[in-house]
Amino acid sequence: MSERYDVVIIGAGPAGYVAAIRCAQLGLRTACIDKWLSPEGKPSLGGTCLNAGCVSSKALLDSSELYQRAQTELTEHGIQVAQVSVDLAAMQARKSRLVHRLTANIATLFEDYQIKWLPGHGRLLENNRVEFTSHEADGSQILEAKNVILASGSRPMELEAAPIDGERIVDSTGALSFQEVPRRLGIIGAGVIGVELGSIWSRLGAKVTLLEARDEFLPMVDKTISQEAHKRFQQQGLEVRLGARVISTRVTSKQVTVHYQSGEEEHELKVDKLIVAVGRQPYSEHLFALETGLLLDERGFIHVDEYGVTNLPGVYAIGDVVRGPMLAHKGSQEGIAVAEAIAQGKETAVKRDNIPWVIYTEPEIAWTGRTEEALRDAGIKVRVGTFPFAASARANAMDGTAGLVKVVADANTDQLLGVHIIGPWASELIAEAVLAMEFAASSEDLARTIHAYPSLAEALHEAALDVDNRALHVV
C-alpha cells in the first residue's frame, strides 16, 4: 500500500529541511527523504552544508585561526603560553562533534514537528508519486504526494585532468578530513571553497599553492576588495597562480605532480595532496523518472519559475539544484517561500538582489548588491565611499586592522546599490547592509544612523559618510 502525504521533499539540506519544518508548521503532512550517510554509515540530516560544507569548514577555519592567533598575537596581548602545538585528531573530533550536534538538532526538530524522516533514496515518478528506497529495507515503497519539493542540492565538479582518488587527490569533502597536515598542498581552483580550504591548511603549516585558470582573482568580488584580499593572502603565504590551466596529473606513492599551462609555457607543481575545487554542479542524477517530463535547463539545473515551480503541476524545486547562487541561506529562503505557497496559496518570489555573500578567510570578505565595476559597466552613475579598518578604534583594539568597507550608492538618488567589506567580522557586519538595502536605504540613511563606539560597525557608518566626503577619522 502506498502512503499519502501533503508534501514529500527529496533532500534534507538547508533548502529541503527548512521547507519540511515550514510545511509542518503550517499543518501539512510532510515526509522528507534524504540519502546522506555519515562517515560511520549513519543517516544524517542537513545535507552537504551541515555534513561536509558550511559547518565543517567553519569549524576547522575557527580552530586553525585560533592556532595562528595563539602563535602570533598572544604575546602582544601580554599573554605568555609555553608551547602552542596542533593536535589534528582532536581538532577533527571537535568538528565531528559539532556536525553531529547540529544534525541531531534537525532530527529533534523533525520529531517535534512530526515530519516523517525517510533515510534512503527518493525518485520522482509520474503524477506526483515518489519512489522511496530505504537504506535499511529491501525493495522500494511508493509515496503519494499532493506536492513534491525537489531539494537534491549539488555535488563537486570533476576535472578529467585530476581524477579524485580519495587519497592523494581529493574533493572538498576529503580536504575537510585530512588526518595529517600535508607539507605541500595544491588546490585547483581559487574560488570561495578553494581559498577557505587553503586558509585552513596554510594556517596549520602546509605550503599552499592555488592554481586558478582565470586571469582574475575572485572575479565576482568588487575589485578594490579582491585586490586587497590577493595582497593579504600572498602575505599569509597562500600562493595564488592565476592563468594556470591544469593539463594533467601524475600520482605516485609519494606525491602528485601537477602539469599546468600558463600562457605559452608549461609548468609543474609537486605536492603531497591535491584538492580539486573547481565548482559545484546541480545534483539531479537518478532524481526523477524520464517519463515525468521534468525540464532541466541547458546547465543541468531543474527549470523553475520565479516562485520555484517546475513545469510539472505540484512539483517545486529549491536550493543548489536550481538557478541562482549556491548558498545555504538562499536555499532556505526558497524552502520557506515554497512551503507557504503550498500551504497558503501565496506565491512569493525570493528576491536575490540583496543576498549576503561571505568568504570566511582572514580577513573575512562579505558583500551584498552589485560591484562598482558592474554598475559602471551597466552605465549607472555611482558615488563611492570607503573606510579602512586601520582607522577604527575597535579594529585596533582587537588587532584586526587589515581591510576596508566600501559603500556604493546611486549618484542621482543616493540609494545604496552595493556594500563590500574585507576585514574583521565582515560576515556579521554585512547583515546591516543587507537590511539597509532591503529597505531601499540611501547612503545618507546609514550616515545618519547612530553606531556604537567603539565598534566595527562604525566602519560602515564612516564609509557611508565618505560617499559625501564627510568621513571623520580619515583625511
Per-residue binding letters, 112-131, with ligand FAD (x by CB under 6 A): ---------xx---------
Stretch that binds ligand FAD, among 5-13, 380-388, 433-441, 443-451 (CB under 6 A): 5-13
For CA atoms 201, 206, 207, 212, give the dihedral sign.
negative
Per-residue binding letters, 159-178, with ligand FAD (x by CB under 6 A): -------------x------
In the complex, least distance from residue 471 CB atom to ligand FAD, rounded to whole angstroms: 31
Q: How many angstroms separate the first and last alpha carbons of the chain? A: 75
- Has 437 been labeled as part of a binding site? no
Decide if 140 contacts 133 (C-beta within 8 A): yes
Cell of 49: 552544508
* Closest to 148 (Cα-Cα) out of 25, 308, 347: 308
33 binds ligand FAD (CB under 6 A): yes
In the complex, least distance from residue 386 CB atom to ligand FAD, rounded to whole angstroms: 26
35, 95, 168, 273: residue in contact with ligand FAD (rule CB under 6 A): 35
Distance separating alpha carbons of residues 297 and 316, to the nearest angstrom? 15
Total site size for ligand FAD, rule CB under 6 A: 35
Stretch that binds ligand FAD, among 146-154, 253-261, 384-392, 399-407 (CB under 6 A): 146-154
Per-residue binding letters, 176-215, with ligand FAD (x by CB under 6 A): -----------------x----------------------
Cell of 204: 596549520
Residue 383 backbone phi and psi in degrees, to 5: -120, 145
151 binds ligand FAD (CB under 6 A): yes
Annotate 261-284 with b (16+ C-beta within 10 A) or e (fewer): eeeeeeeebebbbbbbbbebbbbb
In the complex, least distance from residue 332 CB atom to ligand FAD, rounded to whole angstroms: 8
Decide if 387 contacts 463 (C-beta within 8 A): yes
Distance separating alpha carbons of residues 68 and 236, to the nearest angstrom? 11
- Has 212 been labeled as part of a binding site? yes
What is the residue type of 281? Answer: Q
Cell of 15: 533548502
- Has 120 been labeled as part of a binding site? no
Stretch that binds ligand FAD, among 34-42, 134-142, 226-234, 433-441 (CB under 6 A): 34-42
> CA-based angle 102:38:120, to the nearest 5?
100
Decide if 243 contacts 213 (C-beta within 8 A): yes
Stretch that binds ligand FAD, among 44-52, 183-191, 198-206, 257-265 (CB under 6 A): 44-52
Question: CA dihedral in degrees (183, 275, 218, 365; nearest 10)?
Answer: -70
What string of DSSP letters covers 412-462?
Answer: TT-BEEEEEEEETTHHHHHHHHHHHHHTT-BHHHHHHS---SS-TTHHHHH
- Has 400 been labeled as part of a binding site? no
Stretch that binds ligand FAD, among 145-153, 206-214, 239-247, 363-371 (CB under 6 A): 145-153
- Has 258 been labeled as part of a binding site? no
Burial classification of residue 201, based on how many CB atoms lie within 10 Å of its CB (0-12 exposed, 13-18 middle, 19 or more buried): buried
437 binds ligand FAD (CB under 6 A): no
Stretch that binds ligand FAD, among 33-41, 157-165, 179-187, 412-420 (CB under 6 A): 33-41
Give whichever of 157 and 474 is closer to ligand FAD, judged by the CB atom.
157
In the complex, least distance from residue 134 CB atom to ligand FAD, rounded to whole angstroms: 11
- Reported for 438-441, long-range contacts at CB under 8 A and 24+ positions apart, including other chains, are 438/354, 440/415, 440/416, 441/415, 441/416
Q: Which of residues 55-74 bind ligand FAD (CB under 6 A)?
A: 57
In the complex, least distance from residue 308 CB atom to ligand FAD, rounded to whole angstroms: 12
8, 30, 31, 48: residue in contact with ligand FAD (rule CB under 6 A): 48
Output the known binding site for NAD(+): 189-196, 212, 279
Q: Which residues bind ligand FAD (CB under 6 A)?
A: 10-16, 33-36, 47-49, 53-54, 57, 121-122, 151-154, 172, 193, 283, 286-287, 319-320, 326-329, 331
